[in-house]
Structure 1
């Protein structure tokens, strides 16, 4: 059972200890959730958008729009189309976002199809939580209304398989997915959800920033997205083996299965 305990649950004792240590000086806000961004522009490709997609890769807290954290060189970056996987490592460009290392890539699409872009970032050391973080991230870009292949699996150690087509969604639609480890469903996995607000939305309270839900006994979860834009679904699982941090100490690993989903407001009926 310990292999399925999300690292977010392991963080609580550290927070509690910190609160007991310096609680006399005031209340301590909970740590914001980390999410690996993999955001395509445009979110869909058609005859009006052109066939080139630019993908922005930033490690940050999307609802708060920061702080941005330094990314190391990605381990894998590619695209899965019609069952064929292509490495895009040669298209990665190092950029700076708010003074921190991030990455970007421009990718021309060769034809219709559901393009599943995927990223395995370098492990990130988070000393405040005592874990190495690896967020296996993907996003699906449909080209020319292909509407086929969006549920294909990249083959990450941990991965979310969408049950709902993860594009062409209206605000308020229900997104469903299955949390998997090594291709098998993870019962009762914890899934964190955040909206990419670009700092334009202020949550009424800290507890609203990261929405939290649990998958059922079959690893399946559901969430209705109340705002147009980009939503991240992150199933956080404890890695099977510890990893060395930059100081050489063996520490736990947070393996995140992430998928980004875009919604748009439904057009209003014509009054003519």
Structure 2
């Protein structure tokens, strides 16, 4: 795993050294998965979102989630705080979260999550993955490229729904509202158990953005795809032992593809 910084924020040597031993570690992905990516008369207007911190291509294991810092949605009706709708659940012995949401009008609904910081001893870093997913409602198809103003964020350049397997997805990696040149982006498919990676490099795909922070990836299979740009946080955080440690900020977006039949 490689952390990327903006030109004004070079990666500290201590951070690079601390993470050298984690080069072979498998990627963590914060999941924010809706029950459907497109709401219409057939699906009804209720959406359930599941929040898990896991390794999607490997199907686990899950990591325990603390109570999220913020959960919300940006929709045609404005921005809504959904934290009061969170429901804690235990899955495989670990805490996860979910929420139920009722779509109120046509438009695109950009759901987002800021999880509680997660301490990863293997990487000697705190992890915070700002995650979003877009749900289209009743064919309005407006608002999918909205900027949420998160500290780190992926701005989609391709409408992130209505995609066929094999489509090319593109996005801009941003930190503090500015594009991050040559940011590294990790990509994983949310495995439904039908694929067994032949070796470790097939678990997490790794791509780099260009000089304008734009990355591209063609999704070869139907299902949920997670894109995670890992960037260095501005300030260190304290780990559970009270020690100041580096922070890995993740800019994540989830998109869904279907087979063309």
Deviation at 1:200, TM superposition (A): 3.0
Deviation at 1:146, TM superposition (A): 1.0
Are positions 1:14 and 2:21 aligned together?
yes
How many angstroms apart in 2 are the aligned matches of 1:8 and 1:143? Answer: 43
1:149 to 143, 146, 153: 143
How many angstroms apart in 2 are the aligned matches of 1:71 and 1:182? Answer: 25
| Counterpart for residue 3 of structure 2 | none
How many angstroms apart in 2 are the aligned matches of 1:175 and 1:4? Answer: 28
Structure 2 residues without counterparts, runs of 5 or longer = 1-6
1:3 to 1, 9, 33: 9
Give 3-state SS (helix, strand or coil) of 1:145's partner: coil
Are positions 1:231 and 2:237 aligned together?
no
Deviation at 1:38, TM superposition (A): 0.2
Normalised TM-score (structure 2): 0.93
More helix by share: 1
Which aligned pairs between 1:137-216 and structure 2 lie closer than 5 A? 137-216=131-210
Deviation at 1:41, TM superposition (A): 0.3
Deviation at 1:204, TM superposition (A): 1.1
Q: In 2, are the aligned partners of 1:134 and 1:256 still within 8 Å (CA)?
A: yes
Q: In 2, are the aligned partners of 1:4 and 1:237 still within 8 Å (CA)?
A: no
Structure (1 or 2) with the larger CA radius of gyration: 1
Deviation at 1:198, TM superposition (A): 3.1
How many angstroms apart in 2 are the aligned matches of 1:13 and 1:82? Answer: 44
Structure 1 residues without counterparts, runs of 5 or longer = 17-29, 268-272
Aligned pairs, number: 254
Give 3-state SS (helix, strand or coil) of 2:97's partner: strand
Q: In 2, are the aligned partners of 1:8 and 1:236 still within 8 Å (CA)?
A: no
Deviation at 1:127, TM superposition (A): 0.4
